[in-house]
Amino acid sequence: MKNRISTKEILLWMLKAGGIIGLSILSPQLPTNLLKGYLKHRYRLKERLAKLELRGWIKITEKQDQLMLELVEKGEKKALYYRLEDLNIAKPEKWDGLWRVVIFDIPEEKKIAREVLRNKLKQLGFIKLQKSVFVFPYPCKKEIEIIKNAYEIMPYITFMIVKKIDHEEKLKDKFFL
């Protein structure tokens, strides 16, 4: 687990949350207060923003006395990638009796994404039923969508919610249900 959040992660997630953010050019305290603890000086904010724009993650425009920051598609993907690192699934107090099944058939040219998906599912607590079939007892559709979008593997993954599954008792034991 990461101990430190990078400035670019903060900026990308701020933009993801707000779509477009305006930073006042006339108020030097605003950027410093906004990113307190991460940026000490206004020039560093501009420097970091310029790097993000150079990478094609954000678009910067000046409008009257404000800098307008907009997250572009490439930045959206990068923000999703950062979200993956801290992704986890909340465990409800009571199990609803349904199984969440993830099935995938990811082509060889996306082999790295396939391996990352397997590892991420294991890390999240899924149990492997077969090489490309994983099961989990709690709601997790949103988290699977994040993974699918981040690695651009949407068409290769099927998510199912099922009432009964073979060897259910063994699964219940493994998940302590």
Which residue type is seen at 2? K
Q: Roughly how many angstroms between the first and final C-alpha of the chain, as a whole number? A: 27
pLDDT at 68: 73
CA 72 to chain centre: 16
Per-residue pLDDT of the chain (177 residues; tens, 9 = 90+): 344 445 555 555 555 544 444 443 333 444 444 545 444 555 666 777 788 788 887 787 777 766 677 777 777 766 666 666 778 898 999 999 999 999 999 999 998 889 989 999 999 999 999 999 999 999 999 889 888 887 888 999 999 999 999 989 999 999 999
Return the CATH number of the domain spanning residue range 91-174. Answer: 3.30.70.240
Q: Residue 1: its pLDDT value, please?
A: 38
Q: What does the block give as tokens for 36? A: 């307190």
Residue 170: per-residue pLDDT = 94
Q: How far apart are CA 160 and CA 158, in angstroms?
A: 7
Q: Does pTM top 0.85 for this prediction?
A: no
Nearest CA to 67 among 80, 82, 52, 79?
52
Q: Give me the residue spans of the domains in the chain.
A: 7-84, 91-174
Which CATH topology does 7-84 take? Arc Repressor Mutant, subunit A (1.10.10)
From the centroid of its chain, how far is CA 30? 27
Query: How many whole angstroms separate alpha carbon 32 and alpha carbon 158?
Result: 44
